[in-house]
Structure 1
Amino acid sequence: MKIILISVLTLFSLIQSQASAEEHSAEALLLQMNQASQQLNYELSYILIKKNSIEPLVFRHASVSGHRLAHLVYLSGPVREVIRRGEVVSYIEPGMEPFSIQSGQMIAPLIPLLNSDIKTLSQYYDFVLMGRSREAGSASQVVRVVPKDGTRYSYMLWVDEKSSLPLRADLVDRDGEVLEQYRTVSYSVNEKIAEYMSRLNDVELPGVITLPESKTTVSSWQVGWIPDGFKPHNLHRYKMLKIEKLVESQMYSDGLFNFSVYVSERDSTSLQGHLVRQGRRTLQSYVKGNKEITVVGDIPPETAKHIAQSVVFNSGTVKQKALSSKGEQPVTDEGTQP
């Protein structure tokens, strides 16, 4: 009996060691992918597949004398482009004036985890090697990125064995349903891309928008529960046009997914427990007393509902925490939303 027990414990220890080694290997692969995506000169032509649409895009990246250049182009419909030159990102969208902002992040449909902080994400996600496959004509390693707490979505990533660039990403819900896909059709890694991209330095782009300085604010509500890893960002207060309804909102992010909480006075348009889910995006409303709470973001409906119901209101006021690019700091932005 003692021999059997020792054998079982030894087998269990071996299984644990193998799982730990695979997780470490998967994390190392993602770190290599992250480094390659920031240092190589490359072009990715891919399609973003959603439930009711397919969007073709091309993304080019180059590092010229330590200066990062990136260019995303939408290949169908009106002209739409996002250009990054160092820490300045410019947006060219139909129906609005082009503008630039000071930022190291492009708000655009890029292949997920392209510029994510893998070390930070490893605190809240498990990285699991799933084996080898083939994507865009190249051998790839498949990695599953799954939340440790089960409160958010997962990703399946196909990482090119030669370049370490991501060639495919599937967003998967907790039932295993694929909500959207990024699939590379063709890609190239060569120095000529750097020569081509260096021309962006000579392109005349709109000046950087100067945002007003943030001010400390307080509010009568706070979120009682959020999944581990989500950090609060700017707290906003504004009036909705036409109906003059005052709304406060705060965004949360874990570096991979985002959601926002909106709080306003209850009125005749408020809906108790209203739920809308479209692909990755969930909208969950909840009425508590004379307040309407709405959670909108890239999270499962169950998580959105839990967050909305956790919001508490105080008779006085509480300081809302927020994160700025310089660290933790309460901020506010008052105005009117168009």
Structure 2
Amino acid sequence: MRIAVLIRSLSGLLLLQAAQFVFAQTETPNPSQAPSQAQSLQALFAKMSRVSHNLNYQGSFTYEHQNTSTLQGFRVSHWVDEGVEHERLLYLNGPEREIVRHGQALDCFSPGDQLLQGRLSSIGSRLIGLDELYQFQIRYTERVAGRMATVLQVVPRDEFRYGYVLSVDQETGLVLKSLMIDGTGRILERYQFLELDLNPDIKQLQQAPAAKLHRVANAELGGCNKTQGGEPEGWGLKWIPTGFAFVGQHRVRESTDMLMFTDGLSTFSVFIEPASQQPPEGIGQRGATVAFMSKVMRNDQIHRLTVVGEIPAVAAEQVAAGVEAK
């Protein structure tokens, strides 16, 4: 799930995504207007990336992706108590189920947040500016969930990432509507708030019983998972899309390595685990999330390799082809 990630910030528990829309070519800005446009974009990104972490809010939104005709409904509750974020995401369709998240300190930044704000000094010159990867254009204003929003168009400059159309609440910076779009103009995912309450009863949110089926995702209060930078341990990648940076490596379960990469807007992970037999190979896609399965050898041991993320299939396949043991 990556819903809460995009709701809290720009970086993709779901990155969700309206209507028929095809990107128009971004006009060449008048040089005399460029500074004000850049300043407006910078202010908008800062608000999107950080302000929503501090908000207390509750709202309902819809979500759908291209692989299904089902429109799903969710209720999200977000509040801050003594400098720590808390969040609940309740499914409104199907079996009653919920994701509960507690314990993220407000001074924690996700890798996407840090890249957007230029905070990953360890990556240094390896990080290409986002304006070299995407074209950004503030288009117009519209009304979403009864609130005025600024519409931001994000057009990728290559075939290795997706585009977005984001309707950003002018008061808070919260993304009220989002479309994720591929290179043909096809909408892969979309979500849209239907209603939003910025003054919820915090005690009521805290005391509300969890759904019968729920999963708790607790963060460590002792600090953030520091972004590592540098290079993965034990594995090398001959190719990743331009502008993506390695931001961490974790051991999942006992024997699975997870390598994480982001360009500040999109993310993907590489999972590598020993296999006792030939692993399946191929590709699958759900909405904007692709999973490319392959294999890699290390010390005569075959390993299952899976690239998962919000990147086009062509990018996932090239990433997988370049993974090697070190």
TM-score by length of 1: 0.63
- Say whether residues 1:302 and 2:314 are aligned partners: yes
Query: Could you tell me how far apart the structure 1 residues matched to 2:93 and 2:139 are?
Result: 34
Query: Could you tell me how far apart the structure 2 residues matched to 1:176 and 1:123 are?
Result: 24
- Say whether residues 1:81 and 2:87 are aligned partners: no
Q: Is the 8 A contact 2:60 2:76 kept in 1?
A: yes
Q: Is the 8 A contact 1:234 1:250 kept in 2?
A: yes
Query: Mapping of 1:1-338 within 5 angstroms?
Result: 15-51=30-66, 52=68, 53-87=70-104, 118-120=116-118, 123-124=129-130, 125-190=134-199, 192-199=200-207, 219=234, 221-227=235-241, 228-236=243-251, 249-263=258-272, 268=278, 270-271=280-281, 274-286=282-294, 293-313=305-325, 318=326
Structure 2: unaligned runs, 5 residues or longer:
1-26, 120-127, 210-214, 221-231
Could you give the per-residue CA deviations for residues 170-228 of structure 1, whole angstroms, max 9, x where no partner exists?
111122211010111111222x4334335479xxx989699xxxxxx963x41111122
Distance 1:218 1:23, change over 3 A: closer
Could you give the per-residue CA deviations for residues 15-66 of structure 1, whole angstroms, max 9, x where no partner exists?
2343453233123123223443122322221011112132211112223454
Query: Could you tell me how far apart the structure 1 residues matched to 2:315 and 2:206 are?
Result: 44
SS at match of 2:96: coil
SS at match of 2:42: helix
Q: Is the 8 A contact 1:223 1:311 kept in 2?
A: yes
Stretch moving more, 16-25 or 282-291? 282-291
Could you give the per-residue CA deviations for residues 52-105 of structure 1, whole angstroms, max 9, x where no partner exists?
1322111122234544332221222233223334438xxxxxxxxxxxxxx969
Counterpart amino acid of residue 246 in structure 2: K
CA RMSD of aligned residues (A): 4.0
Distance 1:19 1:193, change over 3 A: farther
Q: CA deviation at 1:143?
A: 0.7
SS at match of 2:201: helix
Could you give the per-residue CA deviations for residues 147-171 of structure 1, whole angstroms, max 9, x where no partner exists?
4555211221101234432210111
Query: Could you tell me how far apart the structure 1 residues matched to 2:55 and 2:278 are?
Result: 55
Distance 1:236 1:187, change over 3 A: same
Query: Could you tell me how far apart the structure 1 residues matched to 2:317 and 2:94 are?
Result: 36
Distance 1:16 1:267, change over 3 A: farther
Q: Is the 8 A contact 1:72 1:82 kept in 2?
A: yes
Query: Could you tell me how far apart the structure 1 residues matched to 2:117 and 2:295 are?
Result: 38
Distance 1:50 1:133, change over 3 A: same
TM-score by length of 2: 0.65
Q: Larger relative CO (CA 8 A, sep 6+): 1 or 2?
A: 2
Distance 1:305 1:20, change over 3 A: farther
Counterpart amino acid of residue 225 in structure 1: W
Counterpart amino acid of residue 277 in structure 1: Q
Stretch moving more, 156-165 or 249-258? 249-258
Q: Is the 8 A contact 1:284 1:301 kept in 2?
A: yes
Q: Is the 8 A contact 1:134 1:140 kept in 2?
A: yes
Counterpart in 2 of 1:243?
none
State which structure, 1 or 2, has the greater radius of gyration over its C-alpha atoms. Answer: 1
Distance 1:225 1:104, change over 3 A: same
SS at match of 1:16: coil
Distance 1:176 1:67, change over 3 A: same
Equivalenced residues, count: 263
Query: Could you tell me how far apart the structure 1 residues matched to 2:103 and 2:250 are?
Result: 27
Distance 1:80 1:142, change over 3 A: same
Query: Could you tell me how far apart the structure 1 residues matched to 2:252 and 2:198 are?
Result: 45
Q: CA deviation at 1:254?
A: 3.9
Counterpart amino acid of residue 174 in structure 1: G
Q: CA deviation at 1:235?
A: 4.7
Query: Could you tell me how far apart the structure 2 residues matched to 1:218 and 1:66 are?
Result: 34
Could you give the per-residue CA deviations for residues 285-309 of structure 1, whole angstroms, max 9, x where no partner exists?
4567886644222210111122122
